[in-house]
C-alpha cells in the first residue's frame, strides 16, 4: 500500500500539466515587467547583451563613498590570485605612463589599519565594487536624486524643526 502512495505522489507533477491541457486552459502564462508575456513552456531567444560604455570618461558619483564605475571595456581582463590586469594601468607604479587614475590610497590599507606596500588582499579583486557601465535601459523607472540636487533644491518656504 505504501509503495502505491509513493508512486502516485511521484506521478502527480507529471499529471497536473496534462490535466490542465485536457481542460483547455493550457500552460500558465508568465507576465512580468522584465520580459514580454510568454507561455510557460515557450523557449524564447535570450535578449541581446547591451554594449559596454567605452568612452573612457569619468562618471560622476551619485552618493558619497560610491566606488567609481569602470568607463572602459574589461572583457577578457584577467583578475586572478596571481594576476590583476587592472593594476597594469591603475597602480602607483604605472599611472604616470598610462594616464589612468590611480587607485585610492585606501586600497593599500589592510583591515587592521596598517598601510601596505601593495594592494591589500581585500581590495585586490576590483570588480567586487567597481562595475563597467552598459547602454542598457532601466527595467523599472528610476527616481534617484543625488545628494547635491537634494541640497540645492529650492525650499518650500516652510520651517522644519
Q: What is the pLDDT of residues 119-131, one digit of tens each?
A: 999 999 999 999 9
> What is the grid cell recorded at 28?
500558465
**For the chain, domain boundaries:** 2-39
Beta strands in 14-155 (DSSP E): 29-32, 35-39
- pLDDT for res 159: 53
- pLDDT for res 19: 58
Decide if pLDDT at 155 tops 60.
yes
Torsion 136-139-143-145 (CA) sign = negative
Any residues with CB less than 8 A from the CB of 78 and at least 6 apart, and which? 84, 85
Burial status of residue 123 (CB atoms within 10 A of its CB: 0-12, 13-18, 19 or more): middle
- pLDDT for res 45: 81
Its pTM surpasses 0.75 = no
Q: Percent of the chain beyond pLDDT 70? A: 80
Q: What are the pLDDT digits (tens) for 51-68?
A: 888 888 888 887 778 899
Decide if pLDDT at 147 tops 80.
no
User: Where residue 30 falls among pLDDT bands split at 50, 70, 90?
Assistant: low
Amino acid at each position: 500500500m505504501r509503495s502505491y502512495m509513493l508512486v502516485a505522489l511521484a506521478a502527480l507533477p507529471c499529471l497536473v500539466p496534462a490535466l490542465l491541457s485536457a481542460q483547455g486552459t493550457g500552460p500558465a502564462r508568465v507576465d512580468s515587467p522584465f520580459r514580454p508575456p510568454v507561455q510557460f513552456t515557450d523557449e524564447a531567444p535570450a535578449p541581446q547583451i547591451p554594449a559596454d560604455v567605452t568612452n573612457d570618461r569619468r562618471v560622476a558619483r551619485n552618493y558619497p563613498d560610491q566606488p567609481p564605475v569602470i568607463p572602459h571595456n574589461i572583457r577578457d581582463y584577467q583578475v586572478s590570485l596571481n594576476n590583476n590586469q587592472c593594476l597594469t594601468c591603475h597602480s602607483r607604479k604605472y599611472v604616470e605612463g598610462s594616464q589612468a587614475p590611480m587607485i585610492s590610497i585606501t586600497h593599500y590599507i589592510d583591515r587592521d589599519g596598517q598601510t601596505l606596500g601593495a594592494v591589500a588582499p581585500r581590495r585586490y579583486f576590483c570588480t567586487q565594487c567597481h562595475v563597467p557601465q552598459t547602454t542598457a535601459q532601466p527595467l523599472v523607472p528610476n527616481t534617484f536624486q543625488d545628494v547635491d540636487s537634494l541640497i540645492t533644491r529650492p525650499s518650500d518656504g516652510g520651517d522644519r524643526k
